Amino acid sequence: MHEMSIALAVIGQVEEAAQRAGDVTAVRSVRLHVGELAGVVPDSLTFCFELACAGTLLEGAGLVTETVPGRARCAPCAFEWAVGMPPRLSCPECGGATTDLLSGRELQILSVHWEDGRTHAPAREPISEER
pLDDT in tens, 41-88: 999 999 999 999 999 999 999 999 999 999 999 999 999 999 998 899
- By percentage, how much of the chain surpasses pLDDT 90? 76
Global confidence as pTM: 0.78
Q: What 8-state DSSP symbol labels residue 113?
A: E
Kindly write down the DSSP assignment for every residue of 39-105, as one continuous string. Answer: ---HHHHHHHHHHHHTTSTTTT-EEEEEEE--EEEETTT--EEE-TTTT--S-TTT----EEEEES-
Please state, in angstroms and rounded to a whole number, the distance separating the CA atoms of residues 3 and 48. Answer: 7
Q: Pick the more confident residue, 1 or 101.
A: 101
